[in-house]
Structure 1
Amino acid sequence: MGLPAKLCHNIARPACDVFINHRTADTRRTVVRLLYDHLVQQRCKPFLDAETMKPGDRLLDTIGKAIRGCKVGVAVFSPRYCDSYFCLHELSLLVESKKWIVPIFYDVKPSQLRVKESAILSCSHNDLKKFNFAVEEAKSIVGLPFDSSKDDWSELVSEASNAVMSKLNEEISG
């Protein structure tokens, strides 16, 4: 089920419909790439750093604009997610912008997600506070658990994509 024609052909369409937040080293070659490709096939416009950003783009500016313009965020939490300043920064922007978030708990339980001050040495106290708040907010959202050693990849991608498309269709008709 693709997006309705009125969204797909809208000239004022945002840079992306869905922002995919993830730790590249943990998930890009697996669930994130599969989800990105599946959303594109659904005529959705996802933002994935490696696919969307071009040489010369200002990293934080481009990401901030994409998050502000998107309708839905997908946060793919992995065991080392909270070690990344960029992951936490993006998540905090999604939460601050009050975006609808689909959490995927990839080889990690929500209760295991913690911001470790020692892992993010260059952070200000204010950033740490925002990051902790964003992680706690995300942990309180019903998400999709996934164990890469036993769960089905295609089922996860379908469930995540269906959740995203349902919300986007709701936004269009609402």
Structure 2
Amino acid sequence: MHRTFLRHYHRTLVANRAAKPCDVFINHRGIDTKRTVATLLYDHLYRLNLHPFLDSKNMKPGDKLFDNINGAIRKCKVIPIFCDVKPSQLGVVDNGKCAMEDIRRFNWALEEAKYTVGLTFDSLKGNWSDVVTSASDNVIKTLSEMEGEKKMQRRKTPPILHV
């Protein structure tokens, strides 16, 4: 099933590549997760012909952080991977550098993540390969479901005929 979906998805992806900045947005907590699970996941998804976004891989010097990240994250479905952290431990540190509106938005996003079923991983006990495989399987399943939902929406919308 995964191969059939990936083959179909890759054909669709190539046709829509210019309009769609990424298939998967990989967010990470810090440099430690960027260098481990985030990069491993990025490389694995890339080898599956998906188009993941990870700041260190997709951005170059001079790129605007907010513009690139905001554009990449639009319409994403969140699948949290709690790596060496429990969901209840998530929080925003207000160091005075961000606008209050951004702090509120970040807090809202973290609250959403806390109450979204995700994958948990303890790097002292777990296997990196297992978490990358599990996350990739979840991403592929989610993309497949989203593609199915799009097809259903297209069928429900009657065609417009111009006479």
Normalising by structure 2, report the TM-score: 0.80
Larger proportion of strand: 1
SS at match of 1:164: helix
SS at match of 2:62: coil
The percent identity for this pair of structures is: 49
Over residues 107-143 of structure 1, what are the superposed CA-to-partner deviations in whole Å (9 max), with x where a residue is unaligned?
01011112233xx221222222222111111100001
Two-structure CA RMSD over aligned residues (Å): 1.7
Structure 1: runs of 5+ lacking an equivalent: 69-96
- Structure 2 residue aligned with 1:67: 73
SS at match of 2:78: strand
Distance 1:24 1:111, change over 3 A: closer
- Structure 2 residue aligned with 1:6: 11
SS at match of 2:70: helix
- Structure 1 residue aligned with 2:64: 58
Moved more, 40-49 or 20-29: 20-29
Counterpart pick for 2:41 among 35, 53, 72:
35
Counterpart pick for 2:80 among 103, 107, 112:
103
Q: Which stretches of structure 1, 4 residues or more, deviate above 4 A after TM superposition? A: none
Counterpart residue type for residue 59 of structure 2: M
Q: Please tell me whether Structure 1 or Structure 2 has the larger radius of gyration of its CA atoms.
A: 2
User: CA–CA distance in 2 between the matches of 1:50 and 1:138?
Assistant: 23
User: CA–CA distance in 2 between the matches of 1:52 and 1:3?
Assistant: 23
- Structure 2 residue aligned with 1:115: 92
Counterpart residue type for residue 58 of structure 2: T
Counterpart pick for 2:31 among 8, 25, 31:
25
Distance 1:3 1:160, change over 3 A: farther
Number of residues of Structure 1 aligned to a counterpart in Structure 2:
143
- Structure 2 residue aligned with 1:133: 108
Check the 8 A contact 1:3/1:42 in 2, yes or no.
no
